[in-house]
A and B are shown apart, each in its own frame.
Chain A
Amino acid sequence: MEVQRQTNLETFSSKDLEKALQRIKKSIWVFHLNTGSCNGCDIEILDVLTPWFDVERFGIKLVASPRHADVVLLTGPITIKTLPRLVKALRAVPRPRLVLAIGSCAVGGNIWFNSYATLGGFPNIIDKLDELGIIIDKVVYVPGCPARPEAIIYGVAVMLNLIKQKSHYKKVKT
């Protein structure tokens, strides 16, 4: 099994992306999309809004429609029944499309990554979405089962280029 780097497609140049990210650093509006998750990550997302973590002090707010969203919070391993609706939802998000894939389901498919009823996580459908013309400009993956509220805040900070990520590919020899 080869592990390869993904390359971003060039229709939205990286300079445009930088400018767009600067703009939304002020008040980011997020939209939550559940593609068949167990709800563990979803209640942690909601927890991030409650008084102990209070992400509203950064101006982050949840919106009801993908057309108002800056960032899409995606959870779930993308089951076969939710795929058409996911496509419709993502199509409605205006450019730049930023996706935060939260939880081990969305990043790698979790325990059911090879089940007949799921597609195994977000990385497996990025190509399919590209074919349909839905270009995802930036994805940040937040592992965790469920992902802690602090890990979600960290993920948002990486998305907005406020922090450099700590994870890097490592190979150690014995």
Chain B
Amino acid sequence: MVKFVKVIPIATKVGTVTIKYPYAKPLVTDSFRGAIEVNPSKCTGCGACTRICPPKALSMSIEGETAILRYFIGRCIFCGMCADVCPEKAIKITKEFELASEQVFDLYVDVEHEVVTCKRCGSKFVTSRLLNKVEQKLEEFPKELLYLCPRCRRIEMLSKQTYLR
């Protein structure tokens, strides 16, 4: 009947378990996934991460003369799929979780890329880094076709007889 009094010795034996954060270090394990960090020297602006990101926290847009990869920490779900998918391994998962901010504006991180202009129609269609990378991989590709946007490239190939064998 008086079994419930057993709680008292249990409590005394356990003592205090409190982790006195912020005066002590928080309990973060090795596998924890916090905010991501994009390495600007490796990123080519391919956009693979923007396609896999479930909440679209990573987005790519062309504004003016540059392309911007925008990372919105506020919508990030910290799943780490972008790091898995990046072909250049430019995304690192840090252990940062102290992200509170008074302005939504401060939760954005932008990575700016230079863009290439299409020689025929003038539209900006790809980042210069990605174009260089593709150029390196395709050794036998005619240079005139490289600096055209996909639409113009199709038109060019179909109109010039030399490309049709």
Contact = CB atoms under 8 A, between A and B. Distances in A.
Asked whether any CB of A lies within 8 Å of a CB of B in the complex, the reply is: yes
Interface of A: 1, 3-6, 51-54, 57, 104, 107-111, 113, 121, 123, 138-145, 148, 150-151, 153-155, 157-158, 163, 165-174
A166 B99 CA distance: 7
B19 interface: yes
B9 interface: no
Nearest to B14: A51
26 contacts: A4-B105, A51-B16, A52-B18, A104-B55, A107-B75, A109-B55, A109-B75, A111-B54, A121-B74, A142-B99, A143-B74, A143-B75, A143-B107, A144-B97, A145-B76, A150-B98, A153-B21, A154-B22, A157-B22, A163-B22, A167-B101, A168-B106, A171-B109, A171-B112, A174-B41, A174-B113
Interface of B: 16-22, 26, 35, 38, 40-41, 43, 45, 54-57, 61, 70, 72-78, 97-114, 129
Contacts of A4: 105
Given A4-B105, A108-B57, A169-B108, A141 B18 contact: no
A168 B102 CA distance: 10
Contact of B104 (A110, A123, A145): A123
Given A51-B18, A169-B105, A172-B40, A110 B114 contact: no
A74 to B, nearest CB: 14
Nearest to B61: A1
A143 B106 CA distance: 12
A142 B21 CA distance: 17
Nearest to A154: B98
Which 9 A-B pairs rank lowest in CB-CB distance, beginning with the nearest? A108-B75, A107-B74, A108-B74, A155-B100, A145-B77, A167-B101, A150-B26, A171-B110, A111-B55
Nearest to B99: A143
Contacts of A170: 109-110
A111 B100 CA distance: 20
